[in-house]
Amino acid sequence: MDSPTEHLPEPVPSAAGTADPLLDAVLDDRYRIDGLIGRGGMAAVYRADDLALGRRVAVKVFSPSTEGIDDADRRKSETALLASLTHPSLVTLYDAAKDPVTHREFLVMELVEGRDLREILRSGPIAREETARMLADLAEGLHVIHSRGIVHRDVKPANVLLAPAHLPTRRWNAKLADFGIARLLDESRLTATGRIIGTPGYLSPEQVRGEALGSAADIYSLGLVMLEALTGVQAFPGPALESASARLVRNPEVPSTLGPDWVDLLTAMTARAAADRPTALDVALAAQTLDISVRSDGSPGGDASAATAATALTHPPGSLGDTRVLPATRVGGAPTAPVAAGAGAAAAPGETAATPAGSDDRDDATAATRVLTRPAEPIAEASRERERGSAVRERWERRPAWFVPVAAVAAVLLLLAVLIPTLLGGLASDAEPTPPATPLPSVPGELGEHLRQLEEAVTP
């Protein structure tokens, strides 16, 4: 097997004092070159002005030894396909042409101001929250190009461009560059010369073996890039042949300190069998539920503080009522987002809202943070009840020493007062019935009338 070489080697600055013939040149009577961004073995990337549309662009000019896009008909069709793939996570391709004066083939792309991931990693690993967002962005971009039948073939840190974000909760917006170049350069011509398209440190096992490639090759490379972003260490370092061959006999080491979510996902993405890897869509969805509570260096993660700061900007203190944020936990193996619990949920301090039984843990975790609000009035009423109870307890504790015996005597007397009439009534009911009263003798006159009225008054 021929030694694998990079499709686009890591850019290096041009030698000091060396004149670049393309600086200030106008390619195809339209693109004025005014500065070098990076240079590699197969191409150099420049800043340029699009004189026709009046916008800044990036122009990738291939070396004279590189051929493949001089077929005008194929170039037009491939350029139209790649230009149609517009997505925030993809560097947009504008044009592909061959300059009639220099006979150099070039691509015109969106100019992304910012640094690439390779430069960022020189300062060490990246926090988990930033890596999770980056993974979600890049996997979504790969899903878009895979759905159109395009395989990137060269996912590596140098092809991950990080544009500065404009939100306080994130540092960058990740963009994937150089997708579709293999198609534009005519893959059949490149592979016929024994060249492996890709960078040795990030090749998939099937690329090393020279097999037909599918979208799973990009997933493997992306897994290695994210593993390096979290650890700051390349999974397969060393010379090109040694690095490329190592993945045929062993899997990359995924540290357990990253947590079970990251370990499971990165292990699946870097499975040696292409069929065992998840799709780009699966990865993009899984990236939204990853545990980011601890940074890659072992220190606490920054998402909680960032979310708190964002909430403070949009919700001043007191505007959310009596709401408290409960720490994230894991339910059934999947992480749940921090939950704000209020009186409606009756969550006690330290209690965590759990995923309902029978539901899918990952789907629940994918949902937005659940907020259980507590109206202000029930809270005030509950507070008043607690105050009244406290006052009663205080009065009972301050009772005089004679209170208990006096209360006991009073209770006994009250009990006797209730029981004695009841007992007497029962005894009376058991006695012989009283014979009917003998009617009074009849007395004539006014006296008799009075006696009759008296009898009626006392007769039951």
CA-nearest of 101, 169, 105, 166 to 133 is 169
Told to judge if 154 belongs to the known catalytic residues of this protein, a careful annotator would answer: yes
List of residues 6+ apart from 90 with CB closer than 8 A: 141, 144, 145, 175, 176, 179
Q: How many helices (H) and strands (E) does the chain have?
A: 15, 13
Q: Compute the distance between CA of residue 96 and CA of residue 61 in angstroms, rounded to an integer.
A: 10
Neighbouring-strand partners of residue 96: 107
Q: Residue 325 has which token pair?
A: 């944020």
318 Rama class: left (phi>0) / alpha (psi -120 to 50) / beta: left
* Nearest of 313, 320, 315, 292 to residue 304 by alpha carbon: 292
For every residue of 272-322, DSSP letters joined together read SSGGGSPPHHHHHHHHTT---SB-TTSSBPSHHHHHHHHHHHHS-TTTT-S
Query: Is residue 302 packed enough to be buried (19+ CB in 10 Å), middle (13-18) or exposed (0-12)?
Result: middle
Catalytic residue among 95, 99, 137, 154: 154
Instruction: Tell me which H or E stretch contains 429.
Output: helix 403-430
By CB atoms closer than 10 A (0-12, 13-18, 19+), residue 258 is buried
- Nearest-10 Cα torsion for 140, 143, 145, 149: 180
Query: Which residue(s) pair with 105 in the sheet?
Result: 98
- Name the E strands within 165-253: 172-176
Which active-site residues does the annotation give? 154
